[in-house]
Amino acid sequence: MPRYFIEVSYKGTSYSGFQVQKNANSVQAEVEKALAVFYKRNFELTGSSRTDAGVHALQNFFHFDVDGEIGDDSYNLNAILPPDIVIRRVFRVNEEAHCRFDAQSREYRYYIFDCKNPFLQDRAYYFPYPLDRTVLQQAAKEVLLQKDFTSFSKRNTQVNTFQCSVYESEWIEEKDCLVYRVRANRFLRGMVKGLVGTILQAGRHKITLDEFLHVFQAKDCTKADFSVGSEGLFLCRVEFPGVDG
């Protein structure tokens, strides 16, 4: 049966997350609803990366199987979808392709601003405190050396391993924001927010770099700081072999 990928972008403010949930609206629910309206049949979507409530995405993917050929009907589907979700393209892939398991890496960016700005308040995290940029970068580099991220995974998560390979971890400047950029083969539930919140504590000299490293060694999520908001977090890219991004 033919398999298709759907590339989507969305502003996550109004949604409980990416994946379908009981008694709460999600990005997946809205896309499935649009597909049902346009194609007059129900589809079961599989998602690539399960972003949490309030998290945004510049690029994420679903896949689905359908009996027969369809075209790139993104224009018509976008006319049905709410304005905070957009389908970038619909394209056929190999029948064995899997948008979750075949992803080679995922890149997140977390945006912070320190001067009050009403045009950033739902797309970045307001953090009006002085930060030691050197310490931020040092902590980011330490992340590259780690493999076990147990301390940076929220509880009640169903995973077989807390091992992750982080390929890039750095702080950069983008316009009016300070941005943490991280790319890895996989991410655990709450992992990016936990890393950002804990690195910010080091950047404020609330903890030392040694204490930051001890958080990893503790393998205890109560040692990490998950307090930063979801509004600053963006899934920016999901990389697949043979799929142009």
- What is the tens place of the pLDDT at every residue in 134-179? 999 999 999 999 999 999 998 877 788 999 999 999 999 998 999 9
Contact by Cβ (8 Å): 8, 85: yes
2 alpha-carbon distance from chain centroid: 28
Pick from 237, 147, 225, 159: nearest CA to 192 = 225
Active site residues: 52
pLDDT, position 23: 80
Instruction: Give the Cα separation of 53 and 48 in Å (integer).
Output: 16
3-state secondary structure at position 225? coil
The burial of 88, by beta-carbon neighbours within 10 Å (0-12 exposed, 13-18 middle, 19 or more buried), is given as middle
Q: pLDDT digits over 197-239, tens only?
A: 999 999 999 999 999 999 999 999 999 999 999 999 999 999 9
Predicted TM-score (pTM) of the model is: 0.94
Angle, alpha carbons 24-66-14 (nearest 5°) = 20
Task: List the domains of the chain with CATH numbers.
Answer: 3-101 (3.30.70.580), 105-238 (3.30.70.660)
Which tokens go with 118? 């009403």
Instruction: Give the Cα separation of 244 and 239 in Å (integer).
Output: 8
